[in-house]
Amino acid sequence: MTRSKDSSTSLRIAIQKSGRLTDKTVNLLHGIGIDFDNYKRNLMVKARDFDVELLLLRDDDIPEYVQDGICDLGFVGANERAEKDADVTVLRGLNYGKCRLSIAVPKDGNLNEAKDFDGKTIATSYPFLTQKYFKEQGVDVKVVEISGAVEITPQLGVADAISDLVSTGGTLKANGLKELFTILESETELVQTNMELSEGKKELIEKFLMRIDGYQQAGKSRYIMMNAPESAIETVKAIIPSMKSPTIVPLAETGMVAIHTVIPITKFWNVMEELKEAGASDIVMLPIESMIL
């Protein structure tokens, strides 16, 4: 493969071509100002205003492409990175694409804990992680690798249990299975190659991470505006779980001020009633597109 620009500075980033992580990864990239076209029709696309080219791959190929330095960065599920036992550095957990790799068994069976699986057969698309887990438990199991429709294997007599990704558990219930225990908690990760990188690439990665951190912080925060009596300023400031000291602007109405600040969205609803009791009024909450931390 060749780079469209000087490979010492241009970043190549691997993302899933299609699947459960694709849309949210593409939305994140667009949200941090990395725009590109035709990603559904091409295997490689160049960003318009950031020195990045995207390589669109199968999710299970991404860890090895990053490990081998073909790509400098990759967006991949922790489950795929761990299954490949890839020699990469995890830069960020991205808080989407969450799921878990779990052991599931027939509802009417007698398998209840790890020691019960001695000598049993487990069907899975994750043989490395499954075998590793039971080896750590000191339990000898037979692992059968299945590329799809893992949940039907107990009904077919292929396996006694399965090891599969679970989000809601609805598929397990539909196939007469129950989730027993979890092997791995997973989310989308941003990973980096451990191959030597040029200074130009390192600088681009720092800029890239700054954008991601700002975008993610913005998603968890809201811009809050409210009016309050001057006499209530110190009380309101004590209530607000803001990142920094709020902005306070005098209003035309004597004795009144406007207070502007940024707070975590999860904390806003906990303090809203306290703010009203302190004299705050006309409280407005606005979304934030991005933040520079």
Please state the CATH superfamily assignment of the domain spanning residues 11-97+187-218 in this structure: Periplasmic binding protein-like II (3.40.190.10)
**CATH code, 99-185:** 3.40.190.10
Task: Give percent of the chain with pLDDT exceeding 90.
Answer: 72
More confident residue, 212 or 7: 212
> Do 242 and 262 touch, CB atoms closer than 8 A?
yes
pTM: 0.83
> Do 124 and 162 touch, CB atoms closer than 8 A?
yes
**CATH code, 221-287:** 3.30.70.120
State the pLDDT at residue 1. 43
Average pLDDT, the chain: 91
More confident residue, 128 or 39: 128
Average pLDDT over residues 84-111: 95
Query: Model confidence over 227-252: pLDDT tens digits?
Result: 999 999 999 999 987 667 899 999 99
State the pLDDT at residue 37. 78
Those residues whose C-beta lies under 8 Å from the C-beta of residue 6, and which sit 6 or more positions away, are 200
State the pLDDT at residue 20. 85
Average pLDDT over residues 49-53: 89
Average pLDDT over residues 189-216: 95
Residue 6 pLDDT exceeds 70: no
Those residues whose C-beta lies under 8 Å from the C-beta of residue 170, and which sit 6 or more positions away, are none
HSE-CB of 199 using CA atoms within 13 angstroms: 0
Residue 125 pLDDT exceeds 80: yes
Question: What residue ranges of the chain are covered by domains with CATH 3.40.190.10?
Answer: 11-97+187-218, 99-185
Q: For tokens 């299970």, name the residue.
A: 60
Average pLDDT over residues 117-134: 97
Task: Give percent of the chain with pLDDT exceeding 70.
Answer: 96
pLDDT band at 2 (very low <50, low <70, confident <90, very high): very low
State the pLDDT at residue 7. 59
Rounded to an integer, what distance in angstroms lies between the CA atom of residue 24 and that of residue 188? Answer: 10
Rounded to an integer, what distance in angstroms lies between the CA atom of residue 124 and that of residue 133? Answer: 13
Rounded to an integer, what distance in angstroms lies between the CA atom of residue 272 and that of residue 288? Answer: 19
